[in-house]
């Protein structure tokens, strides 16, 4: 058994600290919402498995090697001889304004099938299944795969979480309402405050979502986050840190929240670990590189500029 199974597309990333058109040095890494969460869970001491398809190429091998180095189980990666590994480029034309360019249409990641997702679910027997709204946006095949694995997991008693993670480059808001078909099988919903209308048209979106979900967790950047359950609402403020790069903060938040869920912590402690993980992520460049270990979690209680000797 594993603590977490997550599915989706991970890409090779290229990042420059200024406008890319100016050239100069670039940092090569990997990027993917689902693997960000898997790495976050692994760093916090849990077992995590990622299922995805990559090209049988050097970019695909970089993804495999990076995940292995972060203790994420890669046994379920499929290497395609006919499709390429997706690519994403980040540049920063101004402080904490990140511009994203995708090169992923027709990539190996968009060919993930329902049968391989179900096989992975049965093979690793996870305590949690985590999916995002990115994977169903990649192709009809991945949309069907996401629905199938979510249905199968819920039927098997596996707790399923969904992070909306809306990407306007991949589909319109109207198209993204397809995520509503997942909701009857979702235990925990993660959404930013401007994504709730994708999941429901109800006048009171939280109340509507709680008719099927057990938890609805809403993030609002610097305003913090809220956890809504049938027992009530809790709020956790964002930690006061200097933001260097906000990319990946949502995934860091989710990894902290799911980690605390696996540790059977109460909702207020789940929010605390989630906001702490998110705060770590924004203090350095990269999607996942600054995610905390369990030993790191108390570091942000120190005054900024403190030297721990």
Please calculate the CA angle 253-142-112 and round it to the nearest 5 degrees.
Answer: 95
Active site residue 296: no
Q: Which of 22, 14, 168 is nearest to 88 (CA)?
A: 14
Q: Which residues, 6 or more positions from 226, have their beta carbon under 8 angstroms from its beta carbon?
A: 217, 218, 220, 233, 234, 235, 236
**Packing angle, helices 33-43 and 58-69, rounded to 10:** 30
- Marked catalytic residue, from 245, 251, 263, 269: 251
* Inter-residue contact 197 to 146 (CB < 8 Å): no
Q: Which of 248, 243, 226 is nearest to 235 (CA)?
A: 226
Q: What tokens were used for 230?
A: 């049938």
Which residues carry out catalysis?
A: 251
């Amino acid at each position: 058994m594993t603590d977490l199974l997550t599915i989706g597309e991970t890409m090779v990333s290229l990042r420059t600290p200024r406008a890319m058109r100016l050239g100069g040095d670039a940092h090569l890494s990997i990027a993917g919402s689902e693997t960000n969460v898997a790495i976050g869970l692994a760093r916090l001491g849990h077992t995590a498995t990622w299922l995805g398809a990559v090209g049988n190429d050097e970019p695909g091998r970089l993804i495999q090697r990076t995940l292995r180095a972060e203790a994420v189980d890669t046994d379920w990666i499929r290497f395609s001889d006919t499709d390429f590994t997706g690519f994403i480029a980040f540049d920063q034309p101004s402080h904490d304004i990140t511009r994203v360019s995708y090169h992923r249409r027709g990539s190996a990641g968009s060919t993930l099938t329902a049968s391989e997702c179900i096989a992975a679910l049965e093979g690793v027997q996870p305590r949690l299944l985590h999916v995002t709204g990115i994977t169903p946006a990649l192709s009809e095949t991945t949309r069907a795969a996401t629905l199938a694995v979510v249905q199968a997991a819920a039927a098997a008693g596996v707790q399923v979480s969904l992070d909306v993670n809306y990407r306007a480059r991949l589909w319109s808001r109207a198209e993204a309402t397809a995520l509503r078909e997942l909701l009857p099988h979702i235990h925990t919903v993660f959404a930013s405050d401007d994504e709730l209308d994708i999941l429901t048209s109800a006048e009171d979106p939280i109340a509507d979502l709680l008719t099927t979900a057990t938890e609805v967790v809403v993030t609002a950047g610097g305003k913090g986050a809220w956890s809504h359950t049938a027992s009530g609402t809790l709020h956790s403020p964002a930690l006061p840190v200097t933001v260097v790069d906000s990319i990946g903060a949502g995934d860091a938040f989710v990894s902290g929240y799911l980690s605390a869920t696996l540790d059977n912590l109460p909702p207020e402690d789940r929010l605390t670990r989630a906001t702490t993980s998110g705060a770590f992520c924004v203090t350095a460049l990269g999607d996942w590189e600054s995610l905390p270990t369990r030993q790191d979690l108390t570091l942000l209680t120190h005054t900024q500029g403190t030297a721990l000797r």
